[in-house]
Amino acid sequence: MIKVEELLKLVRAYNPKTNEDLIRRAYAYGQQAHEGQYRRSGEPYFTHPVEVAAIATEMMLDDATIITALLHDTIEDTGATYTEVAKQFSQEVADMVNGVTKLTNLELNSNETKQSENFRKLFMAMSRDMRVILVKLSDRLHNMRTIRAMKPEKQIQKSRETMDIFAPLAGRMGMQWMREELEDLAFKVLNPEGRNSIIRRFITLERETGSIIGQIQDEILSELAKHDISAEVLGRAKKPYSIWRKMEEKKIGFSRLSDIYGFRVITDSDDECYRILGLIHRRWRSVPGRFKDYISQPKTNGYRSIHTTVLGPDGKRVEVQIRTRQMHEVAESGVAAHWAYRDGRRAENPFAVDPAKWISSLTERFETGDDHDEFLEHVKMEMYADQVFCFTPKGEVIKLPRGATPLDFAYAIHTRIGESCVGAKADGMRVPLWTRLKNGQSIEIITAEGQSPQASWIDIVVTGRAKSAIRRALKFEDRERFIKLGNELARVGFEHVGKKATPRALTTSAKKLGIQDAEELLAQLGSAEITSTTVVHAVYPELISNAPDGVASNRAIVGLSAGQSFKCADCCQPIPGERIVGITYRGRGVIVHSIDCDAMVEFENQTDRWVDLQWHDGLHAAVHRVTLDLTISNDAGVLGRICSLIGEQKANISDLHFIDKKPDYFRLLIDLELRDAEHLHSVMTAIEADTDVATIARYRDLERRP
């Protein structure tokens, strides 16, 4: 296991001003918290967090991230709490540790609906603090390095998850070195024979041809020296998985595979990058269509470099990447370069992308996804796709994923252009709508009035934006049919529980489910996007499922001293599920208030009387009083129906008081005994759905405070 002084030496190498004492304390805290825990390999568990911290030092990350790496499993796997970590170190560290814990608990390999929701949470965590993802990726990398200690079925599950999610995510963040290692480690588990065969072919090739890498390196350096250009040349064979993927994509054998060697030329300025490009093209023949200028057109994650492929010795294709040293740092670290330290201060790299802007550009189109499938489609497209750059007739650049078509181009300009598209021209020549676009092409979209999206377009386009827009258009055409069918399904669903699918009930259900309105609810019901059970449950959950009471009222609160009594404040009537705080009274114990109660203002300068409280976990007894303020129609049977609705929700009426009686309406206060906030919400939703209820609100009165 790496000792604390060895870890500090790694940090000091790039950050001499590191807070050594804080890292030592985090090391000691984590070691003590994990005392007695062991990995499947038999090693002490704390070897894992230390190795994760060491990986973070390779990215030259700040002290807070190193400490988070050391403590990333403490809240999940030990007795440590968020509050304790925040007190011992900082809220920043506690938030990141908590973020890593939440990510660890996501079941990213489950069914697609669940997976898409977990992707949303993943990107939400990234938007809050991307360092959380950097620690999680480091955690996954070390777990993959030591995966052989796991059971075979667990190895396969983790490797697939790594190949599908974590490796592409690392690549999308610009951390190519981590992507390649994650892919190779997963490949070793998922297809060991395939990987071994490629390695054997490499050994045979090197035996037959000698060291091609060293030969080409020398030739490039010699050519640069002739023109007084100073640069570093790095060469290597591509990783086994990268080779395997190309063989699978192109359906060819190893012997027919080209450009299996890659070289990087690292120099000092943009001008020298282009000079070197010219020298390489004069020395070796360039391969048509294999040139990309990511200096003039950077990737969204900050990546800048010139890529070209030339015919090297024996006619073999050789890929050459040309970049400056600052570009190389970003190419190696990606988005992580934003937090990199050098000589004790944050490294100022003009090419390091702002993480907030990057995550915004990555997720801006995800928000338009109407359903889980579309969101997942957007995510995977963004994570896996390379880019092509095409031009409008006016010279504007449009970025698209590789494999995009003129239809994708049209929708990228504007949805209206896409929907009215009838044809396209590429570099002035008419081309089919399914044509795959190439870098640098000028695309002109031909439109016509009256055109509308065709069902076949779904199979032509590749971007999530285009697919989403086409689905919406097609769905709109069938909308009337779906609404009619949804109306019938809703009628049957509500009658099944003895209720009617009134407009008010449907509107309430839509509101509860976060759907725009009752019409959209019926359309989604008719198109099988939601079920009638879901619609009914949103209004009458108690008629769908019931659960027994659990937590007794005398132990509902956690955080009181031994023998300390409590009472819920009458002014705000807090109930389980709401944030609470206690105020001590001499001779009266503790009065419990909602954290947002207006009565708390007068105690702002009496913090010694505040008690940090929370509700006990579990299902509470229905004994917590809440007062509702209702305005209902003054018609026969209305009040009786409201009382029946409350009874159906398994709530008890403890008092009822009329405060205003008019010829056409009554206003009254009803005291209910409820389990928790969710129970309250169910009761209010059921009452609100009744057509004779004009208004309903929770009643709170400061005059009733203690």
Residue 111 predicted with pLDDT over 50: no
Residue 238: φ, ψ to 5°? -70, 155
Query: pLDDT: is 339 or 554 the higher one?
Result: 554
Task: Find which of 156-165, 279-288, 418-427 is predicted with most confidence, using mean pLDDT.
Answer: 418-427
CA distance linking residue 467 with residue 460, whole number of Å: 9
Pairing of strands 580-585, 232-237: unpaired
Q: Please write the tens of the pLDDT for every residue from 300-324.
A: 667 789 999 888 766 677 889 999 9
CA distance linking residue 666 with residue 684, whole number of Å: 17
Q: Please write the tens of the pLDDT for every residue from 505-554.
A: 999 999 988 898 999 899 888 877 787 878 888 888 777 644 444 576 77
Listed range (68-72, 122-126, 284-288, 371-375) with the worst mean pLDDT: 371-375
Q: How far is CA 315 from CA 104, 274, 286, 311, 431, in A?
A: 48, 24, 11, 5, 33
Q: What is the pLDDT of residue 704?
A: 67
Count CA within 13 A, CB hemisphere, residue 280: 31
Mean pLDDT of the 230-258 span: 73
Q: Which of 330, 445, 557 has the alpha carbon at shortest distance from 339?
A: 330
Residue 341 predicted with pLDDT over 90: no
Known catalytic membership, residue 76 = yes
pTM as predicted: 0.53
Q: Please write the tens of the pLDDT for every residue from 410-442.
A: 999 999 999 999 999 998 889 899 999 987 788
Mean pLDDT of the 582-608 span: 84
Helix/strand/coil (H/E/C) assignment for every residue in 259-290: CCEEEEEEECCHHHHHHHHHHHHHHCCEEEEE
Catalytic residue among 77, 629, 671, 673: 77
Query: pLDDT: is 175 or 21 the higher one?
Result: 21
Q: Please write the tens of the pLDDT for every residue from 615-645.
A: 887 778 888 899 999 999 888 888 888 988 8
The 10 Å Cβ neighbour count of residue 6 is 11
Known catalytic membership, residue 228 = no
Q: What is the DSSP letter of 2?
A: -
Q: What is the pLDDT of residue 394?
A: 83
Residue 364 predicted with pLDDT over 70: no
Catalytic residue among 20, 58, 62, 76: 76
For residue 673, what are its two tokens? 């005994």
Average pLDDT, the chain: 81
Q: What is the pLDDT of residue 363?
A: 53
Q: What is the DSSP letter of 594?
A: E
